[in-house]
Amino acid sequence: MLPVIALVGRPNVGKSTLFNRLTRSRDALVADLPGLTRDRKYGEGKLGERDYIVIDTGGISGDEAGIDKAMAEQSLLAIDEADVVLFLVDARAGINPADEMIADHLRRQQKTCHLVVNKVDGLDPDVARSDFFALGIGEPLTIAAAHGRGVTALIDYALDELGIAVPDEQDAEEKEYDQSVRIAVVGRPNVGKSTLVNRMLGEDRVVVYDQAGTTRDSIYIPYEREGQPYTLIDTAGVRRRKHIREAVEKFSIVKTLQAIKDANVVVAVIDAREGVTEQDLHMLGFVIDSGRALVVALNKWDGMTQEQKESVKTQVERRLAFAAFARFHFISALHGSGVGDLYGSINEAYRCAMAKWSTNQLTRLLEDVVADHQPPTVNNRRIKLRYAHQGGSNPPIIVVHGNQTDALPGAYKRYLENRFTKLLKVKGTPMRFEFRTGD
C-alpha cells in the first residue's frame, strides 16, 4: 500500500507548489463530491525508490464559521485518509491566527504531523524556523518548495518516521507469483460499481462482508472463472447499502488510486446516462499514467433512447480518444447485459500487458519498420536504430537502442510506437517506449 501524505495550511503558504513538485501524474484527481466546498487534489508521486500519494487539501483561511466546520468540510476526510500530515506555514509571513487555529486542531488529532516552514529561500533557515516552535507541533522543518530545496529530505524524513522502508525485491516478486488476474473496478459514486461487482462475481456467490475496516481499504476477492483465477479489487464494497449517503461516504479517491496501482487491469465504470464527466477523464488519465491495462464500461445502457445512445457514443469517440487503446463496452450491470463480454477484453488486456517478447523478435520488427520508413538525417548523419529489447511489463516497455536517439522527431517516435503496437497486436494496455543512445 502506498503511504498517503496530506498537505494542510492556510492559503498561499505554498501547498500547490509543493504538491506539483511531489507529483508526476499528468492529472491530479479532484474530489468533487457533494458537500465539499473546495477542491481536494490527489496525485501520485515518487522520490528515489519510494512511491506515495499526496493530497492537497485546499486552503483553510480561518475566516470560515469556525475552524471545526472548515476543517470538516475540506480537510478532515483527507487528514483521515492520510498516514502523515505536513502542516505548511510561510516563513516570510510569520505566525498568523489561522496557523494557530490549524495547529490547535492538529494537536487534537491522533495523526503523525510535521510542521513545514516554506519559502526559506534567501533567509537563514534557522532564524526562519525559530518563530514557529511556538505552534507546539514540534521541530519545524524548512523547505523552499518553489526551488525544490529541502523537499527530498522532507519526504525521506516523513516516510522514514512512518517506518516505511525503501521497497525491496520481495514486493515485486510476490506480485509476480500471484497467478491471478488482478482486476480493479473503479468509478465515481453511483455509477454502478457494486452492482457490476456482484454481476461479475455471479449472483449466487455474493459474499457479505461486514469488515469494520477503514474507508481506505478495498476488499480483495479471489475467485475462478472458466479455470482462470482472478482477484477482484472492490473499491465499492459488495455489501448492500441502505442509504445513498453511505455511498458518498464510502467513496474514497485514495482507495481508488491504491486499487489502480495494485491491479493488472482496471475496469473503469462510467454512467452513460450522465455522459463523460471531468472526473471520469481525470480518472482515466490516472489509469494511463500508472500504466495499467484498461477496459471501459459505459453502464446503465438499459432504457436509453436510440438518440441518447448515439449522443453518448459520439461523446466517447471525441472525449476518450486518448484512451482509444482500450476496449469499450456498453453494458447494463443491473440487467446483466454485456457484463460477460467484459471478461474477453479483460483477458486480452492482461495477456497483452504481460506479454514477453525476445530481443531477437523486437529487433527484427524494428528493422522491418525502419526499412519501411527511415529516420531522418541530423547533422549530416542518419539517425540509426540498432536493436530493441523489452524493459518491462504491465505496461510493456520497449527500449530502442541506437545513436542520436535524442534527436528523433516526435512524429517518427509516434510512427514507431503505432507500428509496434499494431504488429505486436497489443490491445487494452498502454505501451511505453524509451530511446537510448550508446551500448
Measured from the CB atom, is 299 or 405 closer to ligand GDP? 299
- Helix H or strand E segment including 366: helix 359-372
Annotated ligand binding at 192? The verdict is: yes
**Amino acid, single-letter form, for residue 147:** H
Question: Which of 14, 140, 395, 428 lies at the binding interface for ligand GDP (CB under 6 A)?
Answer: 14
CB of 85 to ligand GDP, least distance (A): 14
Q: Identify which of residues 268 and 323 has a Cβ nearer to ligand GDP in the complex.
A: 268
Strand residues in 153-207 grouped as ranges (E): 181-186
Helices and strands (DSSP H and E) totals, the chain? 15, 18
| Among the residue ranges 100-108, 116-124, 126-134, 307-315, the one whose residues contact ligand GDP (CB under 6 A) | 116-124
Q: Which stretch binds ligand GDP (CB under 6 A): 12-20, 310-318, 357-365, 401-409?
A: 12-20
- Cell 522532507, residue located: 154
Report if residue 75 touches ligand GDP, rule: CB under 6 A. Answer: no
**Torsions phi, psi of 285, nearest 5?**
-60, -40
Residue numbers 302-361 binding ligand GDP by CB under 6 A: 302-303, 332-334
- DSSP readout, 222-266? EEEETTEEEEEEESS-SS--S-HHHHHHH--HHHHHHHHHH-SEE
CB count in 10 Å sphere of residue 339: 20
Region from 43-51, 152-160, 278-286, 296-304 binding ligand GDP, contact rule CB under 6 A: 296-304
C-alpha 101/C-alpha 62 separation (Å) is 7
From candidates 12, 152, 180, 393, binder to ligand GDP by CB under 6 A: 12
Q: Quick one: cell of 309?
A: 445512445
Take residue 344 and report the three cell numbers written for it: 474477453
Comparing every residue's Cβ against ligand GDP, the nearest one is: 192
Burial (CB < 10 A; 0-12, 13-18, 19+), residue 245, is: exposed
Closest separation between CB of residue 303 and ligand GDP, Å? 6
Secondary structure (3-state) at 48? coil
Known binder of ligand: residue 14? yes
Chain residues 162-191 in contact with ligand GDP, contact rule CB under 6 A? 187, 189-191
Burial of 158 (0-12, 13-18, 19+ CB in 10 A): buried
d(CA 137, CA 145) in angstroms, rounded, equals 20
**Strand stretches in 125-218, DSSP E:** 141-142, 181-186
182 is in an annotated binding site: no
Site for ligand GDP in 229-268 (CB under 6 A): 236, 247
Query: Least distance from C-beta 196 to ligand GDP, angstroms?
Result: 7
The H-or-E segment that residue 18 falls in is helix 15-22
Check the annotation: does 156 bind a ligand: no
Residue 370 in contact with ligand GDP, rule: CB under 6 A: no
Could you say whether residue 146 binds ligand GDP (CB under 6 A)?
A: yes
Q: Whose Cβ is closer to ligand GDP: residue 52's or residue 330's?
A: 330
Give the residue, chosen from 2, 4, 8, 13, that forms a contact with ligand GDP under the rule CB under 6 A.
Answer: 13
Q: Contact 295/270 with Cβ under 8 angstroms?
A: no
The answer to whether residue 16 forms part of the interface with ligand GDP (CB under 6 A) is yes
Residues 260, 420: Cα–Cα separation, whole Å: 26
Binding site for ligand GDP (CB under 6 A): 9, 11-17, 59, 118-119, 121, 144-147, 187, 189-195, 236, 247, 299-300, 302-303, 332-334
Q: Binding-site residues for GTP, please?
A: 9-16, 56-60, 118-121, 187-194, 234-238, 299-302
Q: Binding-site residues, please?
A: 9-16, 56-60, 118-121, 187-194, 234-238, 299-302
